[in-house]
Homo-oligomer: A and B are copies of this chain.
Amino acid sequence: MILDNSKAIYRQIIDDFKKKIVRGELQAGDRIPSQREYAQTVRVNPNTVQRAYREMETMQMVETLRGQGTFICTSQNMKDAMKQEMASELLEYFIVQMRSIGFTDAETVHELQQAMESKGGNGNDSV
Question: Which residues in A have some Cβ–Cβ distance to B below 8 Å?
Answer: 4-6, 19, 22-24, 58, 83, 86-88, 90-92, 94-95, 97-106, 108-109, 111-113, 115-116, 119, 121-122, 124-125
Contacts and interface: CB of A to CB of B under 8 A. Distances in A.
A55 B108 CA distance: 29
A98 B90 contact: yes
A104 B86 contact: no
Contact of A119 (B95, B97, B101, B116): B95
A111 B125 contact: no
Question: At the interface, is chain A mostly helix, strand, loop or mixed?
Answer: helix
State the oligomeric state as a number of copies.
Answer: 4
A39 B105 CA distance: 36
A53 to B, nearest CB: 14
A23 B98 CA distance: 10
Contact of A95 (B99, B109, B115): B115
Contacts of A119: 92, 95
